[in-house]
Amino acid sequence: MKASSHPARLAGSLALIFVATGAAASIPPPPTAAELALQGDDVAWSIAEGLTTEIGPRQAGTEAEAAARRWAVARLGQLGFANVREEPFDMPTWVRGEEQAWLTGPFHPQPLAIAALGNSASTGRGGIEGPVAYFASYDDLVAAPDHYVRGRIVFIDHQMKAAQDGSGYGYYGRARFSGPNAAAKKGAIAVVIRSIGTDSHRTPHTGVTSFEPGVTPIPAGAVSNPDADQLVRQWKRTLQMRTNETPLGYTPEPLRLKLVLTPQLLGPRASGNVIAEVPGSDPAASPVIVACHLDSWDLGTGAIDDATGCGIITAAARYVMSARQPRRTIRILWAGAEEVGVHGGKAYFDKYGAQRHAVAMESDFGADKVWRVDFKLPDSAKTVADRIAAALAPLGITRGRNPASGGADVGALVQAGTAAVDLQQDGTRYFDLHHTADDTLDKVDPAQLRQNVVAWTATLDILANSSASELGE
């Protein structure tokens, strides 16, 4: 965070902004929610720290996620929220097994750091070995003739580039989302991708992949960026061999990989959402929903994905509640089973999608500073957006031109027409850590986390107190 946007330095300017909306009187007005957030008692940090320390990894459908729900209910109750509850649902559960990979030839055999992708098939304990079919990108794989792929282990080598808005995830991420399905359809025996990540550590990035109905899943894993670099160096040498520039003492042979991945599909297992509320003063007013997800991938402790998100939205709701009862109910959704298919978001929508929600927000992109705010609001809410933009400007947050989309767990609501506000976090280093063993608490910057909480509190305070004419009932 730049010095100019440090929360402490903004106390004065924000106080001015909020006081200007109050009555001019000799008795000082009570502190606003944003002022309380600036004086902060580190609720967001304590949630992120507690959840990652006392539970750790909490993969959807496992006992760890159930323990996290019990923890969440206890913590949200302790914080003074109303209507705290678990809302269970079942979802198909996949769990990691043994995972090993080796470059087996033509050079001296050596191990690679690999993580199976969610929904990967098993190789069996004995593993599989085969020649590599190299593709520079997902598009190259799609364009390749089947006979080049059949019987081989596909490798997709598309290196993700970092971007502040995280916009590379959709483009580069196709190698993970769709690469295994495309490879399976062409007859590959397995697929290995370069991790969808921007770091250079031997911590591969997992994440879910999907096979179309009728396509038999194949083993699918991601190797870390340094391991992908190594594979590519060996691949280039095997090409040199074919042109007779043979490295020392090796005979020309195709590059070969061996994989042992033994994940299992356990079938349906129990997951659930945890919900808590700040009851609004106007029973006729539609609620504001703020979301994060409680589950994490299994390799790390899910600090930035998404314990901090739960900390941020919960701290903000509590500061709004502490300042004064808001007009609208604030509904806090700690969604279950987001990582493996947004099952919690779907369960919420199935149950509550017919109800009107005034606006939806989600925090699920780490804990680095908010730098931009995007809106998707009805025309009637123009002054709401202006007030939010004015409140956020002193925090170094500018107004964007993109329509807000709300995030995965409220995505169905927003697609069905619910208004949304996105507080865009800086994602420059997010994909260094995303879905790796390195997603741990030491990566969270407490100063930037506090900036998030202040921004969320100011925004939520305005939204939860917006009028019927602005955001409807």
Please report, as ranges, the residues that interact with its own copies according to CB under 8 A: 49-50, 52-57, 64, 67, 70-71, 74-75, 78, 103, 107-108, 110-111, 113, 200-203, 225-226, 229-230, 233-234, 237, 247-250, 300-301, 436-438, 440-443
Q: How far is the CB of 224 from its own copies (least distance, A)?
A: 9
Query: 21 or 264: whose CB is closer to its own copies?
Result: 264
Query: 287 or 300: whose CB is closer to its own copies?
Result: 300
Rounded to an integer, what distance in angstroms lies between the CA atom of residue 451 and that of residue 5? 8
Token representation of residue 29: 């007005």
Query: 67 or 468: whose CB is closer to its own copies?
Result: 67
Query: 334 or 375: whose CB is closer to its own copies?
Result: 334
- Measured at the CA of 461, the angle between CA 455 and CA 466, to 5 degrees, comes to 130
Query: 56 or 279: whose CB is closer to its own copies?
Result: 56
Supply the Cα-derived Rg of the chain in whole angstroms.
24
Q: How far is the CB of 52 from its own copies (least distance, A)?
A: 8
Q: How far is the CB of 124 from its own copies (least distance, A)?
A: 19
Query: 145 or 249: whose CB is closer to its own copies?
Result: 249
Q: How far is the CB of 198 from its own copies (least distance, A)?
A: 13
Rounded to an integer, what distance in angstroms lies between the CA atom of residue 82 and that of residue 80? 7
Nearest to 401 by CA among 379, 423, 372: 372
The count of other CB atoms within 10 Å of the CB of residue 131 is 15
Report whether 76 contacts 274 (CB < 8 A).
Answer: yes
Q: How far is the CB of 64 from its own copies (least distance, A)?
A: 6
Number of alpha carbons in the 13 Å side-chain half-sphere of residue 123 = 27
Query: 221 or 406: whose CB is closer to its own copies?
Result: 221
Query: 103 or 458: whose CB is closer to its own copies?
Result: 103
Token representation of residue 271: 């997951």
Token representation of residue 60: 């959807």
Token representation of residue 278: 């700040």
Q: How far is the CB of 341 from its own copies (least distance, A)?
A: 24
Residue 416: phi and psi, rounded to 5, are: -85, 5
Q: How far is the CB of 335 from its own copies (least distance, A)?
A: 20
Query: 200 or 281: whose CB is closer to its own copies?
Result: 200
Nearest to 322 by CA among 13, 49, 38: 38
Query: 375 or 431: whose CB is closer to its own copies?
Result: 431
Q: How far is the CB of 237 from its own copies (least distance, A)?
A: 7
Q: How far is the CB of 54 from its own copies (least distance, A)?
A: 5
Rounded to an integer, what distance in angstroms lies between the CA atom of residue 432 and that of residue 195? 10
Q: How far is the CB of 147 from its own copies (least distance, A)?
A: 29
Taking every pair of Cα atoms in the chain, the longest distance, rounded to a whole number of angstroms, is 89
Strand partners of residue 114: 223
| SS percent in the chain: helix, strand, coil, step 5 | 40, 20, 40
User: What H or E segment, with its residue span, contains residue 86?
Assistant: strand 82-95
Rounded to an integer, what distance in angstroms lies between the CA atom of residue 433 and that of residue 274? 26
Rounded to an integer, what distance in angstroms lies between the CA atom of residue 455 and that of residue 31? 16
Compute, in degrees rounded to 10, the torsion defined by CA atoms 277, 337, 408, 263.
170
Nearest to 177 by CA among 435, 429, 423, 439: 435
